[in-house]
Amino acid sequence: GLPDKPLFFRSFYGNNPNKATAEIFNLNEFLFDIVIAQMIEINSASQSNTKKLQAIYCGKWIVESEFQTNNSRALLLDLNKLAIAKSENKLFIMSDCNKNTMKDWVIKTAKELMNMEEENFYLAIVPHPKDWTSKENIEVQKII
C-alpha cells in the first residue's frame, strides 16, 4: 500500500531493490526523470536462449523537470535532454516562479529544439516544491 506519510519517489525507489526496473537496468533513473517505454527481449552477446536482456524499443513518454527559479541555463540542460531523446511524447515540468518570462522562453526554445513533425511536446507549470502545501494550480499545455 501507500506510505502513511509523503515520501519522495527517489527515496522510496532507491530503498526498494526489488523493483523490476532497478533490477533490469541496475539504475534508479534511466537517463531521464521518468521514462515510459515499449520493451523487447533480446539475446545476450553469447546468443544464449536462456539469457535474455530487456531493451528499450521505443519511448512512449519522456519526462524532465526543473524547479530552479530564474535560471534559464538549468532549464536548458533538461530541455536539451528532451531534444536528443526519441519519444512519441515529451513533457517538461517547471515551477511557476517568474512564470510569464520563463514560460515564454521555454516555449520558444522548445519550438527551436524539438522535432515538430514526429513528436508531441507538452509543458506543465506547477507550484514550486516550497509551495506545494499552499498552492494547487497546475497548468498543462501542448506546445508542439
Kindly report, residue by residue over 52-87, the tens digit of the pLDDT: 888 888 889 999 999 988 889 999 999 999 999 999
Asked whether residue 14 is domain-assigned, the answer is yes
Which three cell numbers mark 92? 517538461
* pLDDT number for residue 16: 54
- pLDDT average, residue stretch 102-128: 91
* pLDDT number for residue 29: 56
Asked whether residue 54 is domain-assigned, the answer is yes
Which one has a higher pLDDT value, 52 or 114?
114
Model confidence at 50: pLDDT above 80: no
Query: Which helix (DSSP H) or strand (DSSP E) does residue 87 occupy?
Result: strand 87-95
Asked whether residue 3 is domain-assigned, the answer is no
- pLDDT average, residue stretch 78-100: 90
Count how many domains the chain has: 1
* pLDDT number for residue 12: 45
Q: What predicted TM-score, i.e. pTM, was given to this entire model?
A: 0.73
* pLDDT number for residue 123: 95
d(CA 88, CA 58): 8
Kindly report, residue by residue over 3-46, the tens digit of the pLDDT: 444 434 444 445 555 566 556 555 555 688 998 989 888 888 88
* pLDDT number for residue 6: 42
Asked whether residue 2 is domain-assigned, the answer is no
Structural domain span for residue 69: 9-142
Side-chain-side CA neighbours of 2 within 13 Å: the count stands at 5
* pLDDT number for residue 118: 84
